[in-house]
Amino acid sequence: MERKNRYSLEEELRGTVLSAFIILVGVIISIYFGNVAKELFETNIAIWLYPIACYIVPFVFMLLEFWLVARTSRLVKEINSLQ
């Protein structure tokens, strides 16, 4: 029983780390897109698109990262308690 619990916790930890990496890539793409949009689109579109892509979306991703950090620390504590 202990092996299965530890294995499932390790799988959950892998999924959490992968999610954190994907969110980080999403933030980088969002900021890059916002900067490109500022230079390429008309002024009216860029006024709305730039703040959304460069500030609001990364802020939401940052909140998700805080949740993933809390989840990761919980998983690490549970894995260490099984050893």
**Per-residue pLDDT averaged across 21-50, rounded?**
81
Number of domains the chain contains: 1
Q: Residue 2 — very low, low, confident or very high, per pLDDT cuts 50/70/90? A: low
Overall average pLDDT of the 16-37 stretch: 87
Mean pLDDT of 57-75: 89
Structural domain includes residue 83: no
Query: Is the pLDDT at 13 greater than 60, yes or no?
Result: yes
Structural domain contains residue 55: yes
Evaluate whether residue 34 is within a structural domain: yes
What domain range includes position 58? 2-78
Mean pLDDT across 64-74: 89
Q: What is residue 64's three-state secondary structure?
A: helix
Residue 1: predicted pLDDT: 43
Domain-located, residue 23? yes
